[in-house]
Amino acid sequence: MSPVQKYQVLRRRLGRRFAVVTVSVAVGDTTVEIRKPRSADELISPDDFEHDDRLPYWAELWPSALVLPVYLPSPPGRLLELGCGVGLVTAMALSAGWDVVATDYYADALLFTEMNALAIAGRSPHTRLVDWRALPDLGTFDAVVGADVLYERPYSALIAGALARTLAPKGEGIIVDPGRVHAPGFVRACEKEGLVVAAEKEGKMTIYHVSRSSLPGPA
Domain-located, residue 9: yes
Tell me what pLDDT residue 171 has: 97
Domain count, the chain: 1
| Residue 219 located in a structural domain | no
Q: What is the CATH number of the domain that holds 137?
A: 3.40.50.150
Task: Provide the pLDDT for residue 219.
Answer: 42
**Is 217 part of any domain?**
no
Nearest C-alpha neighbor of 161 from the set 143, 198, 186, 197: 186
Give the three-state DSSP class for 28. Answer: coil
In angstroms, the CA 164 to CA 173 distance is 9
Q: Is 179 helix (H, G, I), strand (E, B) or coil?
A: coil
In a domain, 218, yes or no: no
Long-range contacts: 18-26, Cβ < 8 Å, 24+? 18/43, 18/108, 23/61, 25/61, 25/66, 25/88, 26/66
Residue by residue, pLDDT tens for the chain (219 residues) are 899 999 999 999 999 999 999 999 999 999 999 999 998 776 766 555 444 555 678 999 999 999 999 999 999 999 999 999 999 999 999 999 999 999 999 999 999 999 999 999 999 999 999 999 999 999 999 999 999 999 999 999 999 999 999 999 999 999 999 999 989 999 999 999 999 999 999 999 999 999 997 654 444
Question: Model-level pTM?
Answer: 0.92
Domain coverage including residue 201: 3-211
Residue 121 within any structural domain of the chain: yes
Is 109 a domain residue? yes
Residue 216: inside a domain, yes or no? no
